[in-house]
Structure 1
Amino acid sequence: MRAITYDRFGGSDVLTLTDLPTPKVGPDSVLVRVRASSVNPVDWKVREGYLAEVMDTVFPVVPGWDVAGVVEQVGLDTPEFQVGDEVFGYVRKDVVGGEVAGGTLAEFVAAPVRTLAHKPAGWSFEEAAATPLAGLTAFQTIRRAGLQSGHTVLVHAAAGGVGSFAVQIARSLGARVIGTASEANHDYLRTLGAEPVTYGEGLIDRVRALEPAGVDVILDYVGGDALDSVPDLLRDGGTVASITDARARDEFGGQYVWVRPDPADLAQLARLGDADELKPEIAEVFDLVDAAGAHERSQSGHVRGKVVVRV
Structure 2
Amino acid sequence: MKAAALSSYGGPEVLTPSEVPLPEAGPGTVRIRVRAAGVQHFDSRIRGGWAPPFLNLSFPIVPGNEFAGVVDQLGEGVTGFAPGDEVLGYGTLGAYAEYVVAPADQVAPKPDSMPWDIAGGFSGNGQGAHMCLEAMGVGAGDTVLINGAAGALGTFSVQLALAWGATTVIGTASEANHAYLRSIGAVPVAYGEGLVERVRALAPEGVDAAMDTVGPEALRASVEVVKDRNRIRTMVADDAAKELGVPLLGAGRSVERLIELTGLYERGLIKLHLRETFPLERAADAHRLLDTGHGRGKIVLNVA
TM range (shorter): over 0.9
Where do residues 54-65 of structure 1 align in structure 2 (5 Å cutoff)?
A: 55-65=55-65
Select 2:286's aligned residue among 280, 285, 294: 294
Mapped to 2, the partners of 1:38 and 1:230 lie a distance apart of 29
Judged with a 3 Å threshold, the aligned counterparts in structure 2 of structure 1 residues 17 and 247 are, in CA distance, closer, same or farther, namely closer
Mapped to 2, the partners of 1:178 and 1:269 lie a distance apart of 21
- Give 1:90's aligned residue: 90
Q: Which amino acid aligns with 2:132?
A: T
- Give 1:241's aligned residue: 233
Displacement after TM superposition at 1:51 (Å): 2.5
Displacement after TM superposition at 1:115 (Å): 1.9
- Give 2:191's aligned residue: 199
Q: Which amino acid aligns with 1:3?
A: A
Q: Which amino acid aligns with 1:161?
A: A
- Give 1:179's aligned residue: 171
- Give 1:96's aligned residue: none
Report the number of matched residues.
Answer: 302
- Give 2:253's aligned residue: 261
Q: 1:263-289 deviations in whole A, cap 9, x for unaligned?
A: 111111111111111111110000011
- Give 2:9's aligned residue: 9
Where do residues 107-126 of structure 1 align in structure 2 (5 Å cutoff)?
A: 107-126=98-117
- Give 1:214's aligned residue: 206
Judged with a 3 Å threshold, the aligned counterparts in structure 2 of structure 1 residues 229 and 20 are, in CA distance, closer, same or farther, namely closer
Mapped to 2, the partners of 1:310 and 1:148 lie a distance apart of 35
Q: Which amino acid aligns with 2:248?
A: Y
Displacement after TM superposition at 1:121 (Å): 2.0
Displacement after TM superposition at 1:76 (Å): 1.6
Q: Normalization by structure 1: what TM-score?
A: 0.92
Displacement after TM superposition at 1:255 (Å): 3.0
Q: 1:198-234 deviations in whole A, cap 9, x for unaligned?
A: 1111111111111113211010011131122234311
Report if aligned partners of 1:240, 1:248 keep a CA contact under 8 Å in 2: no
Judged with a 3 Å threshold, the aligned counterparts in structure 2 of structure 1 residues 237 and 150 are, in CA distance, closer, same or farther, namely farther
Q: 1:148-190 deviations in whole A, cap 9, x for unaligned?
A: 1111100000001100000000010110211111111111111
Mapped to 1, the partners of 2:113 and 2:240 lie a distance apart of 36
Q: Normalization by structure 2: what TM-score?
A: 0.94
Report if aligned partners of 2:30, 2:73 keep a CA contact under 8 Å in 1: yes
Mapped to 1, the partners of 2:250 and 2:288 lie a distance apart of 23
Paired residue secondary structure (2:271): coil
Mapped to 1, the partners of 2:53 and 2:71 lie a distance apart of 33
- Give 2:73's aligned residue: 73
Mapped to 2, the partners of 1:289 and 1:296 lie a distance apart of 13
Q: CA RMSD in A?
A: 1.7
User: Identity of paired residues, percent?
Assistant: 41
Q: 1:13-60 deviations in whole A, cap 9, x for unaligned?
A: 222222223211011111100000021111111111022666321211
Mapped to 1, the partners of 2:3 and 2:221 lie a distance apart of 44
Mapped to 1, the partners of 2:17 and 2:186 lie a distance apart of 41
Judged with a 3 Å threshold, the aligned counterparts in structure 2 of structure 1 residues 211 and 68 are, in CA distance, closer, same or farther, namely same
- Give 1:50's aligned residue: 50
Judged with a 3 Å threshold, the aligned counterparts in structure 2 of structure 1 residues 237 and 61 are, in CA distance, closer, same or farther, namely closer
Mapped to 1, the partners of 2:288 and 2:250 lie a distance apart of 23
Report if aligned partners of 1:115, 1:263 keep a CA contact under 8 Å in 2: yes
Report if aligned partners of 2:3, 2:62 keep a CA contact under 8 Å in 1: yes
Judged with a 3 Å threshold, the aligned counterparts in structure 2 of structure 1 residues 36 and 231 are, in CA distance, closer, same or farther, namely closer
Displacement after TM superposition at 1:72 (Å): 0.9
Mapped to 1, the partners of 2:154 and 2:194 lie a distance apart of 21
Mapped to 2, the partners of 1:159 and 1:269 lie a distance apart of 19
| Unmatched tracts of structure 2, length 5 or more | none
- Give 1:273's aligned residue: 265
Mapped to 2, the partners of 1:251 and 1:293 lie a distance apart of 36
- Give 1:162's aligned residue: 153
Q: Which amino acid aligns with 1:240?
A: I
Q: Which contiguous aligned blocks of 4+ residues in structure 1 show a shift greater than 6 angstroms?
A: none
Are residues 1:228 and 2:242 paired? no
- Give 1:26's aligned residue: 26
Report if aligned partners of 2:91, 2:106 keep a CA contact under 8 Å in 1: yes
